[in-house]
A and B are shown apart, each in its own frame.
Chain A
Amino acid sequence: MQELVFSIADVTAVVPEIIVGVSACLLLMVDLFVKEERKEIVGWLAILAIIFAGVGTVCLASVEARTVMAGMYVVDLYSALFKMTLYIGAIFTILLSLNYMKSEGVEYRGEYYALILFALTGMMCISSGADLLTIYLGIELMALPIYVLVGYIKKSPTSNEAAMKYVILGAFSSGILLYGVSLIYGYTGTTNLAGIAAGITASGTDSPVLTFGVLLLTVGLCFKVAGFPFHMWAPDAYEGAPTSITAFMAVGAKAAAFAGAVRIFMAALEPAFADWQAILIIVAVGSMFYGNITAITQTNIKRMLAYSSIGHAGYALLGLIAGTADGAASIIFYMFVYTFMNLGAFGVIILLRKCTGKGDMIDDYRGLAKNNRLVAVVMLIIMFSLAGIPPTAGFMGKFYIFMALIDQGMITLAVVSIVSTAIAAFFYIRIVLLMYMKEPEGEFDLVKSYSVYYVLAICIMAVIVLGVYPGAFMHLAKAAAIIM
């Protein structure tokens, strides 16, 4: 372990994290002085804090990549791109929440936004962690507020149940992950990612301690990204949570978990590639097929999107299986695109949701296109993008991942994955069919909320622009993956 020297350069490197973390604490205090009816102000302040952090991250990304805090924290283009994805996820979540939490009829307090900011701080720590300790602390700092947010509707038994299941399985997976970390530490004598890679290269990969450590760490990470067969928590947590928080989990928590996983696998466990590649192939293929096939039978749209997110985790894992910089770049791109697609989908769900409890079931979308053309078109584009139909961004995301696989000669795996996208298309297009081909069963009473409209407009634009012109972002992602 390096000697701990603390300098101003270390502090400037973590300014975005400091802004988000400190604002979260300040929001808790500001909240006390804001009247019950005007709690949106707290939400807008949270958005302002994230925008400041975003400016900070952009400024830091333009300087050279560097490791600070005694090798524990790294500031580079890779972390900056993931942080941008996370900022977008958090800002849009807050915009979606402004009206939604009122319509759920919960006691509406500013701590909701503070918790989102705390979780965001954790996600940022994951994407910048250069040491297993930092990444673990980030994972926990992200998970603890999300446990609370999932159970935020205290009076609802489903929300309680989702939170309880999530907290037990989340803590369980952290325990497994940590045991793996402890074994890897015992084997290599360090928790620093670069140090671990050097240690494994020096001592060889054929030790049961290392194999077991890598296995447990991989299982722990697969729990966090909700890959089959470690996905059990996802459908329940997604269905029971408030819809805005489901969006946050599907987008933020998943992107952050991938940020950590890619860095751990590519930077630290690269020499043990053969050990984890085999496990990931099983998880990825299982996730794609299990997620997509089970999604077909769902009647609740949030639960369907949970299974679809398991499938998407499978596709993103393919980028890791390729094991190249191109694979890592395609994961960055996929997560960026996935953020917009999913936030759009959850935005539409929130639009349909009024106090009547409508909007959660797939049947509620029957005949939506008759009187609400615009909303139906938005949902159509998003469903096409999730299914991976060109010219949407979802298609480009999958395209880059499959290209990375084919470059490595893994053609069978690529073909198998493409077959699973065909299965996935079935349940996404079913929603489109319901909206356009069926007669409505009653009047639709959509929520009128400008903040949700903005989110949907931006998501649709991003999905189309990234689908038609993915080059610019992909170029950045490739540069980021190479430096890492």
Chain B
Amino acid sequence: MIPLTWFVALSAILFIIGISGVLLRRNLIVMLMSLELILNSVNINFVAFSYYLEDMTGQLFAIFTITIAACEVAVALGILIALVKNRRTFNADDLDTLKG
């Protein structure tokens, strides 16, 4: 059996990659992909814990997280399309009209 720590380590690595992706990359699409990575790292955690604790709550949670992740991306891409129609840019650094 694969020990629990391996799963947690994998999810921690994915989580860190996701966080750094959102903070360091400037392309909005890549940032959205990194957000998905964060949510998937959470899912790995939930499913692994659920398996080792022999408790279904974690898997239940993971299913809900997957659904929400899909909704979030749908909304984010919708907003992105409206943005690109007005601005013609995918770069987060170009979003600088609001500041102060």
Contacts and interface: CB of A to CB of B under 8 A. Distances in A.
Contacts of B65: 178
B28 A168 contact: yes
Interface residues of A, number: 46
Most chain A Cβ neighbours within 10 Å, of B15, B22, B64, B98: B98
Interface in A337-384: none
B58 A172 contact: no
B97 A185 contact: no
Contact of A164 (B8, B57, B79): B79
A185 B83 contact: no
Nearest to B86: A157
Interface in A89-140: 133, 136-137, 140
A408 to B, nearest CB: 34
A171 B68 CA distance: 10
Interface in B35-90: 35, 38-39, 41-42, 45-46, 48-49, 53, 55-58, 60-61, 64-65, 68, 71-72, 75-76, 78-80, 82-83, 86-87
B100 interface: yes
B75 A182 contact: no
Contact of B45 (A171, A182, A297): A182
B45 A240 contact: no
Most chain B Cβ neighbours within 10 Å, of A160, A172, A191, A303: A160
Contacts of B72: 140, 144, 167, 171, 174
Contacts of A140: 68, 71-72
Contacts of A463: none
A475 interface: no
Contacts of A17: none
A140 B71 CA distance: 9
A297 B99 CA distance: 12
B28 A172 contact: no
B35 to A, nearest CB: 5
Contacts of A303: 100
B6 to A, nearest CB: 14
A171 B34 CA distance: 10
Most chain A Cβ neighbours within 10 Å, of B18, B22, B42, B49: B42
A154 interface: yes
A164 B28 contact: yes
Most chain A Cβ neighbours within 10 Å, of B46, B55, B68, B80: B68
Interface of A: 1, 133, 136-137, 140, 144, 147-148, 151, 154-158, 160-165, 167-168, 171-172, 174-176, 178-179, 181-183, 185-186, 189-191, 235-236, 239-240, 297-300, 303
12 contacts: A1-B57, A136-B64, A140-B71, A167-B75, A171-B35, A175-B38, A182-B49, A186-B8, A189-B53, A190-B57, A235-B98, A236-B98
